[in-house]
Amino acid sequence: MDSSKRKFLALSGLAVASSLYASESPHIKSNEKTTKKHKKASLPDTKNPRVVVLGGGWSGLSIAKTIKELSPQADVILVEKRHEFISCPISNLWLVDKVDLEYITHDYLQAARNYDYTYFNATAIGVDKKNRTLQTSEGDIAFDYLVLSPGIDYDYSKWTKDITLVTRLKQEYPAGFIPGSEHITLKNKIQNFKGGNFILTVPGGNYRCLPAPYERACIIANYFKQKKLKAKVIILDENNAVTIKKKGFMSAFKELYADYIEYIPNSAIESIDLDTKTVTTELDEFKFEDAAFYPRVRGAKIIETMGFAKDAKDRMEGNINPLTYEVEGESNIFIAGDARPMGFSKSGNTSNSEGKYVGKLIANRINKLKAPKWEAPVTLCFSAVSTEPENAIFIYTQYSFDKKDKSLENAKFADWKKFSFSETTSSENWKKDGVKNAASIYSWADALYFDMFGAK
Ligand SMILES: Cc1cc2nc3c(=O)[nH]c(=O)nc-3n(C[C@H](O)[C@H](O)[C@H](O)COP(=O)(O)OP(=O)(O)OC[C@H]3O[C@@H](n4cnc5c(N)ncnc54)[C@H](O)[C@@H]3O)c2cc1C
């Protein structure tokens, strides 16, 4: 077993079995009854307003922290199914040992202690809207406000409806865009690769982290090049061009990895045969030795289970007012992070900065203050184009909408389309600024991890 795998297993601990036992504590409010099927979660009572945040990712961590900062009297509970946080940002560098697992792994207990909220390790399974209760594997939790930040799930349906194939794709060729086991499998694939074609796919639609598949291709190619492997990273991109930081990535493909990367746009996949190891696109057929198949994404399925998902361009995402993040028809339930329908970049920085606004919005309600003015989330995204030496590119953008558009005063789900990029700048000349940008990758990550988890 390699050392990173050992460390990961040590950090993970054992899966906790579901225990639907009743606690002795009374409900936070007299009208909040547990349903017949579920028992109360074992949590202390409170007389204060309770906010339950589902999902301890970049969105949920930022929201929980902000609410507690602005409304210290609130009883904030972060419900998260994982035992520890593993960061997707920076994980591409971990694949080739540029950082160790400790750097991208963080402690939910530390975050909860530093920011004075409760981390509750459980899987959410449903909601009882009438009784304002989140149902979890560890019992029901009554809430005054509920925030859903559960991220994404994969959607393989554009490629195949064959469940056996989907199961094999998930297990044998995971995308590596939801952290944990998928990343470990991918790391082992890369580090044990003997040569030949390594396929990476880029999905269509607003997928999680637009630059990450291209960054990953560069990092893998750099690794193969250093090892002097006879190998090629084939990028099958469903889109007609690189979706972001195009100049920077295309020049890296051409100038650094001409013999190692083959970039093929307009590659909508028609079939994948895992026995003959062949991928067929509209235009061609590709043989591969290994691969990571990244399908389209959709809002996490728990949102659909709760009845809060709506279709935004083939992506079942939160049915929310895009300005207030409230679920349509539910004034005390919110959806944020990558599960939102707006065309913002599905990135950690975006979710973290958006979380400050959503947190303020809820804190102001609790504090009986006016709703805050809408604040644009910020996307600041660094991508490595090489690791030996380290070079990177970045993009910065905010978002805006037409303030004269009166219909947005009562914004509806359908208005998710009305937001556009603003204040966009980028640094894509890696030959000039690559070293400086690469250093910023680590200062960015340090700052964001500190923001979410606080001091050790
Ligand atoms: C390889 C890669 C590289 C990336 N690089 C960058 C980068 O450089 N910069 C950047 O800004 N972004 C980057 N991103 C994107 C970033 O990771 C995501 O946009 C971000 O994680 C979204 O935050 P979120 O909170 O919405 O979702 P997540 O971070 O996925 O969090 C959702 C959480 O909800 C939990 N959850 C889901 N369902 C349940 C349930 N039913 N019960 C309990 N818990 C549940 C999950 O366990 C998870 O912890 C990258 C992503 C990948 C995959």
| % of the chain beyond a pLDDT of 90 | 86
**For ligand 1, which residues put their CB under 6 angstroms from it?**
54-60, 79-82, 88-89, 91-92, 123-124, 149-151, 177, 208-209, 212, 300, 302, 337-338, 346-349, 351, 381-382
Q: What is the DSSP letter of 73?
A: T
Residue reference for tokens 């680590």: 442
Using the predicted structure, report yes or no on whether residue 57 has a pLDDT greater than 50: yes
Region 31-55 average pLDDT: 83
Q: In the structure encoding, which two tokens stand for residue 194, read together?
A: 């003997």
Which atom belonging to ligand 1 lies closest to the Cα atom of 216?
1
Which residue has its alpha carbon closest to ligand 1 atom 11? 348
**Confidence tier at 414 by pLDDT (50, 70, 90):** confident
How confident is the model over 120-174, as pLDDT tens digits?
999 999 999 999 999 999 999 999 999 999 999 999 999 999 999 999 999 999 9
pLDDT higher for 28 or 402? 402
Region 169-197 average pLDDT: 98
Query: Which pLDDT does position 37 carry in this prediction?
Result: 60
Region 341-354 average pLDDT: 97
Cβ neighbors of 83 (< 8 A, separation 6 or more) are 11, 12, 13, 16, 108, 121
Pocket test for ligand 1, best of 136, 182, 209, 344 (most atoms within 8 A of CB): 209
Residue reference for tokens 């061009």: 241
Positive or negative, the Cα torsion across 174, 177, 180, 183?
A: positive
Q: In the structure encoding, which two tokens stand for residue 349, read together?
A: 């920085």
Which atom belonging to ligand 1 lies closest to the Cα atom of 87?
17
Position 454: which residue type?
G
Query: Which pLDDT does position 36 carry in this prediction?
Result: 55
Residue reference for tokens 């920011």: 115
Query: Which pLDDT does position 38 carry in this prediction?
Result: 65
Region 360-382 average pLDDT: 96
Using the predicted structure, report yes or no on whether residue 185 has a pLDDT greater than 50: yes
Cis peptide before 377 (omega within 30 of 0): no
Which residue has its alpha carbon closest to ligand 1 atom 29? 57
**Confidence tier at 26 by pLDDT (50, 70, 90):** very low
Region 279-292 average pLDDT: 97
Q: What is the DSSP letter of 396?
A: E
Tell me which residue of 172, 236, 251, 165 sits closest to 204, measured CA to CA: 236
Query: Which pLDDT does position 312 carry in this prediction?
Result: 86
Cβ neighbors of 60 (< 8 A, separation 6 or more) are 53, 54, 78, 80, 147, 149, 337, 355
**Confidence tier at 14 by pLDDT (50, 70, 90):** very low
Which residue has its alpha carbon closest to ligand 1 atom 17? 88
Query: Which pLDDT does position 386 carry in this prediction?
Result: 98
